[in-house]
């Protein structure tokens, strides 16, 4: 706030002084007026402007003084020192006491009025106290120096009315708008556009621009422009309008590097002048500088070779000098705006749920992912959302242990400095959520609340489960056949057995080794299906022949407890399938039917040409294949999951039977690769029916 007031008062001062100096009337009254404005704005006791002639030594031609009733005589040593050094001097002196003012310290400040390489005079101010006339006042005085120089130069020492020219109504409006606009804090682009407009109006230049200076890259970055057309710097290689250019080129580049104003009149004399437009005859580049370093460069171009007379240069320079503080403020504001925008974009778009929570558990701010992780709709507008009340209440139906969750929500209040984490499991739909709650602190290190990071880890947990099941299944299913292979081969190596016995042992070793080979084959099948690298070798295949082949294969496995029924119509079209894969599908289903009906019963394989397919089935011509048994059946809760990798219905029967839980995953994958579908209907204790569809070889049928 302070910066705004100071910078705008400095601008107001320049505007007031410019208006006064540009009026008609004797130079003495105009300088007096300026001194009075300065005293009111800057609060010093007395002031003096001296016209100093150039030459050897000091030669004061004229002096104008204003006083606040002090009787302190002016001493010229500060003036002499400033003129000799061509630089402002600030000196603290002790004064004798008098009626008007008691004894004490006085600050005496003198700034030489030098312009365009020439010395015109000096302005001095004095104020009571050793700490008066600080940096702010000095900056304001520096901003006035170019105006005073123009007034003294225009007056040329003859005391007559200055040929500065009368202020037009437009100029008066200009000053008025300058004063008013600068009072309000401005966004960067608004400020620069406004400055440019003022500069164009004040000089009558036809075109102009303002660019920020990037000292690290040595570049000027165009921010505002007028009168050059739409995209004055052309386009970059991506077809985007170019905005930056190197400061190694042109008058603006030189002004940016040196921090000094430059003017070129009649550019025809300058061979390396790069005009943005062939009509340009004069160019003025004035830096808006701080501590001698250019923050921005204001460039004005004119078609008049004689444009930018000293008076105009002075006004533009004063304008740029006065704009230094507002510009720094606007740049800082812009930078903080940009970084807060970046931060907000990251916060809003992060796929992890984030919520800022105060000390009482109230959610101050959250992103979209936070709502979606919990499955909540947009929060009701403006209502405070409290973790331990609202969140728990909304999740009540889905959370198995609401008390533990409430405890976690409030735990931040008992131990505000601790980092906490919690794994939450939600039902319907099943969801695993991980919550990390980290304390937050303000810039003074005081605890302000917490930030909650919530992520849906259902998939990760599922992957963990699959991984551990894989390890347990593989270790169990591989170990069992391996143990028996090792046991029997050891026996065979140790002793001589009767030939019949020996053959039986070798047969067992062979069976167990084939079982191992099947498991390994299944594991490879799963990997290929998941990677999408499983390929089908599809041919027109006789359905009857295919079934016969499967039957002779499965018969070997059957004991006399099961009866195998095959139900195929006499006329059945051929299928268009990968023969080996379909045999694998049917063999798997039939083996399961036998395996999961340990008490025996009927196992049926039936094939039909359906009148209609189920509604959600893909269109086309398919045969329906059913494998049914009268076995243990599948509980309803398990039946959606039996198609998942490593999923096994867990009960004492299935544990005894053994298996990897890979068969149905592969079966489903292979059926779907053929364009078909598979589903199951089952009743516990009564049996299961697996139904699948296989594509009919339609071309063949028509032929
Ligand atoms: P595996 O038989 O190696 O365990 P599957 O993927 O072939 O693996 O079957 C998955 C699970 O589905 C089995 O563990 C079993 O619990 C159940 N299941 C499969 N077929 C049947 C069936 N015909 N009757 C009862 N349960 C079955």
Tokens 């999740």 sit on residue: 395
Nearest atom of ligand 1 to the alpha carbon of 687: 24
Tokens 């340990």 sit on residue: 598
- Characterize the bridge pairing of strands 562-567 and 601-608: parallel
Residues 118-139 have pLDDT tens digits of: 788 899 999 888 888 888 888 8
**What average pLDDT does range 679-691 have in this prediction?**
96
Q: Does domain 169-337 have CATH number 3.30.450.40?
A: yes
Task: Report residues whose beta carbon is within 6 angstroms of any ligand 1 atom.
Answer: 592-593, 596, 629, 631-634, 642, 648-649, 654, 659-665, 688
Q: Above 70 in pLDDT, residue 202? A: yes
| pTM confidence score | 0.47
**Helix or strand (DSSP H, E) at 223:** strand 219-226
**Closest Cα partner for 274 from 261, 285, 260?**
285
In this predicted structure, which of 49-63, 90-104, 171-185, 640-654 has the lowest mean pLDDT? Answer: 171-185
Q: What would the CATH number be for the domain defined by 2-156?
A: 3.30.450.40
Q: What backbone torsions phi and psi does residue 334 show, to the nearest 5 degrees?
A: -60, -45
Tokens 């039939």 sit on residue: 590
In this predicted structure, which of 42-56, 84-98, 266-280, 349-363 has the lowest mean pLDDT? Answer: 266-280
Q: For residue 165, what pLDDT is reported?
A: 36
Average predicted confidence (pLDDT) for the chain? 84
More confident residue, 489 or 53: 489
**What average pLDDT does range 23-45 have in this prediction?**
83
Domains of the chain, residue spans: 2-156, 169-337, 350-456, 461-531, 539-702
In this predicted structure, which of 221-230, 268-277, 309-318, 408-417 has the lowest mean pLDDT? Answer: 268-277
* pLDDT classification of 164: cutoffs 50, 70, 90: very low
In this predicted structure, which of 226-230, 471-475, 685-689 has the lowest mean pLDDT? Answer: 471-475
* pLDDT classification of 700: cutoffs 50, 70, 90: low
Choose the residue to mutate in 519, 630, 663, 686 for probing ligand 1, maximizing ligand atoms within 8 Å of C-beta.
Answer: 663
Residues 608-648 have pLDDT tens digits of: 999 999 999 999 999 999 999 999 999 999 999 999 988 88
Q: How many Å lie between the centroid of ligand 1 and the Cα of residue 71?
A: 112
Q: How many Å lie between the centroid of ligand 1 and the Cα of residue 592?
A: 6
Residues 315-337 have pLDDT tens digits of: 888 888 878 878 888 888 788 77
Q: Above 70 in pLDDT, residue 169? A: no
Residues 501-518 have pLDDT tens digits of: 999 999 999 999 998 898
**Strand ordering across the sheet containing 362-366:** 385-386, 362-366, 353-358, 447-456, 431-441, 420-426
Tell me how many degrees the CA angle 430-435-440 measures, rounded to the nearest 5.
Answer: 160
Q: 100 with 94: CB under 8 angstroms? A: no
Q: For residue 4, what pLDDT is reported?
A: 38
**Closest Cα partner for 250 from 236, 266, 267, 237?**
267
Residue nearest to atom 25 of ligand 1 (CA): 633
In this predicted structure, which of 27-41, 89-103, 170-184 has the lowest mean pLDDT? Answer: 170-184
**What average pLDDT does range 670-696 have in this prediction?**
96
Contacts of 103 (CB under 8 A, 6+ apart): 94, 95, 96, 97
Which architecture does CATH list for 461-531?
A: Orthogonal Bundle (1.10)
**Strand ordering across the sheet containing 622-628:** 562-567, 601-608, 622-628, 687-695, 678-683
Nearest atom of ligand 1 to the alpha carbon of 627: 23
Highest mean predicted confidence (pLDDT) among 12-16, 191-195, 383-387, 630-634: 630-634
Highest mean predicted confidence (pLDDT) among 145-154, 386-395, 464-473, 683-692: 683-692
In this predicted structure, which of 70-74, 210-214, 596-600, 697-701 has the lowest mean pLDDT? Answer: 697-701
Q: Above 80 in pLDDT, residue 214? A: yes
Residue nearest to atom 20 of ligand 1 (CA): 592
* CATH (one of 3.30.450.20, 3.30.930.10, 3.10.20.30, 3.40.640.10) for 350-456: 3.30.450.20
**What average pLDDT does range 250-268 have in this prediction?**
84
Buried b (16+ CB within 10 A) or exposed e, 459-496: eebeeeeeeebbeebbeebbeebeebbeebeeeeeeee
Nearest atom of ligand 1 to the alpha carbon of 654: 16
Q: For residue 5, what pLDDT is reported?
A: 42
Q: How many Å lie between the centroid of ligand 1 and the Cα of residue 574?
A: 29
Nearest atom of ligand 1 to the alpha carbon of 643: 6
Residues 544-579 have pLDDT tens digits of: 999 999 998 888 878 889 999 999 999 999 999 999
**What average pLDDT does range 71-98 have in this prediction?**
85
Q: For residue 3, what pLDDT is reported?
A: 36
Residue nearest to atom 7 of ligand 1 (CA): 663
Q: Above 90 in pLDDT, residue 680? A: yes
Q: How many Å lie between the centroid of ligand 1 and the Cα of residue 554?
A: 17
Q: How many Å lie between the centroid of ligand 1 and the Cα of residue 648?
A: 6
Q: Above 70 in pLDDT, residue 56? A: no
Choose the residue to mutate in 585, 596, 631, 684 for probing ligand 1, maximizing ligand atoms within 8 Å of C-beta.
Answer: 596
**Closest Cα partner for 219 from 296, 326, 323?**
296
Q: For residue 163, what pLDDT is reported?
A: 30
**What average pLDDT does range 267-272 have in this prediction?**
66
Tokens of 552: 């002779």
**What average pLDDT does range 94-108 have in this prediction?**
79
Q: How many Å lie between the centroid of ligand 1 and the Cα of residue 432?
A: 27
Q: For residue 177, what pLDDT is reported?
A: 59
Q: For residue 166, what pLDDT is reported?
A: 40
Query: 3-state DSSP call for residue 365?
Result: strand
Q: Above 80 in pLDDT, residue 223? A: yes
Tokens of 607: 């094939």
**Strand ordering across the sheet containing 207-214:** 244-246, 219-226, 207-214, 293-302, 282-290, 262-264
Computed on alpha carbons and rounded to an integer, the radius of gyration of the chain in Å comes to 46
**What average pLDDT does range 341-353 have in this prediction?**
89
* pLDDT classification of 181: cutoffs 50, 70, 90: low
Q: How many Å lie between the centroid of ligand 1 and the Cα of residue 595?
A: 8
Tokens of 184: 């309000």
Query: 3-state DSSP call for residue 262?
Result: strand
- Whole-number Cα distances in Å, 219 to 63, 213, 251, 283, 597: 45, 6, 13, 19, 82
Q: For residue 159, what pLDDT is reported?
A: 31
Q: How many Å lie between the centroid of ligand 1 and the Cα of residue 584?
A: 15
Q: How many Å lie between the centroid of ligand 1 and the Cα of residue 493?
A: 37
Residue nearest to atom 13 of ligand 1 (CA): 648
Which architecture does CATH list for 539-702?
A: 2-Layer Sandwich (3.30)
Q: For residue 297, what pLDDT is reported?
A: 95
Residue nearest to atom 2 of ligand 1 (CA): 659
* Measured distance CA(568)–CA(565) in Å, rounded: 10
Q: How many Å lie between the centroid of ligand 1 and the Cα of residue 464?
A: 22
Judge whether 2-156 and 350-456 match in fold.
Answer: yes
Q: How many Å lie between the centroid of ligand 1 and the Cα of residue 596?
A: 7
Residue nearest to atom 14 of ligand 1 (CA): 648
* Measured distance CA(124)–CA(73) in Å, rounded: 13
């Amino acid at each position: 706030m302070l910066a705004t007031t100071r910078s705008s008062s400095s601008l107001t001062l320049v505007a007031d002084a410019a208006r006064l100096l540009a009026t008609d009337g004797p130079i003495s009254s105009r300088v007096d007026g300026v001194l009075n404005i300065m005293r009111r704005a800057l609060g010093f006791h007395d002031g003096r402007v001296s016209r100093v002639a150039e030459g050897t030594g000091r030669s004061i031609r004229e002096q104008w003084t204003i006083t606040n009733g002090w009787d302190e005589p002016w001493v010229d040593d500060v003036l002499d020192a400033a003129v000799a050094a061509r630089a402002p001097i600030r000196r603290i002196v002790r004064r004798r006491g008098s009626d008007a003012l008691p004894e004490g310290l006085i600050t005496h400040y003198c700034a030489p009025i030098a312009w365009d390489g020439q010395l015109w005079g000096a302005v001095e101010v004095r104020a009571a106290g050793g700490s008066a006339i600080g940096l702010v006042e000095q900056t304001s005085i520096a901003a006035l120096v170019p105006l005073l120089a123009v007034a003294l130069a225009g007056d040329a020492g003859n005391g007559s009315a200055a040929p500065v020219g009368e202020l037009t109504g437009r100029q008066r409006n200009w000053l008025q708008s300058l004063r008013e606009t600068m009072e309000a804090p401005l966004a960067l682009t608004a400020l620069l556009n406004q400055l440019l407009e003022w500069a164009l109006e004040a000089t009558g230049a036809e075109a102009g621009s303002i660019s920020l200076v990037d000292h690290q890259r040595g570049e000027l970055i165009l921010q505002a422009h007028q009168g050059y057309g739409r995209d004055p710097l052309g386009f970059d290689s991506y077809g985007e309008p170019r905005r930056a250019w190197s400061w190694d080129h042109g008058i603006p580049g030189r002004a940016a590097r040196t921090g000094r104003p430059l003017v070129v009149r009649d550019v025809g004399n300058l061979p390396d002048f790069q005009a943005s437009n062939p009509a340009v005859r004069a160019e003025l580049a004035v830096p808006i500088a701080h501590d001698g370093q250019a923050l921005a460069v204001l460039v004005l171009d004119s078609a008049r070779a004689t444009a930018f007379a000293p008076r105009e240069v002075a006004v533009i320079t004063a304008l740029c000098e006065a704009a230094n503080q507002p510009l720094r403020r606007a740049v800082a504001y812009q930078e903080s705006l940009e970084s807060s925008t970046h931060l907000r974009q990251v916060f809003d778009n992060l796929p992890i749920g984030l919520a800022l929570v105060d000390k009482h558990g109230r959610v101050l701010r959250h992103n979209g992912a936070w709502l979606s992780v919990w499955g909540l709709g947009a929060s009701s507008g403006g209502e405070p959302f409290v973790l331990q009340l609202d969140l728990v209440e909304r999740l009540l139906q889905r959370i198995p242990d609401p008390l533990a969750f409430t405890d976690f929500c409030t735990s931040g209040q008992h131990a505000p400095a601790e980092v906490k984490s919690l794994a939450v499991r939600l039902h319907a739909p099943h969801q695993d959520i991980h919550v990390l709650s980290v304390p937050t602190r303000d810039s003074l290190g005081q605890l302000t609340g917490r930030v909650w990071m919530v992520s849906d880890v259902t998939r990760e947990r599922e992957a963990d489960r699959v991984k551990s099941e894989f390890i347990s299944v593989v270790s169990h299913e591989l170990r069992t056949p391996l143990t028996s292979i090792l046991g029997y081969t050891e026996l065979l190596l140790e002793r001589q057995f009767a030939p019949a016995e020996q053959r039986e042992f070798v047969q067992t070793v062979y069976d167990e080794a084939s079982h191992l080979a099947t498991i390994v084959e299944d594991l490879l099948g799963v990997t290929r299906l998941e990677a999408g690298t499983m390929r089908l070798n599809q041919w027109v295949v006789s359905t009857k022949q295919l079934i016969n082949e499967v039957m002779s294969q499965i018969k070997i496995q059957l004991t006399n407890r099961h009866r195998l029924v095959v139900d195929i119509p006499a006329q059945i079209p051929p299928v268009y399938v990968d023969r080996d894969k379909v045999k694998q599908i049917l063999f798997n289903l039939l083996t399961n039917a036998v395996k999961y009906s340990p008490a025996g019963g009927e196992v049926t394989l039936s094939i039909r040409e359906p009148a209609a397919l189920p509604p959600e089935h893909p269109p086309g011509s398919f045969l329906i294949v059913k494998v049914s048994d009268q076995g243990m059946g599948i509980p309803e809760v398990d039946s959606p999951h039996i198609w998942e990798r490593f999923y096994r219905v867990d009960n004492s029967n299935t544990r005894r039977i053994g298996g990897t839980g890979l068969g149905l995953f592969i079966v489903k994958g292979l059926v779907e690769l053929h364009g078909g579908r598979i589903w199951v209907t089952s009743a516990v204790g009564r049996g299961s029916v697996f139904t699948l569809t296989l594509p009919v070889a339609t071309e063949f049928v028509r032929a």
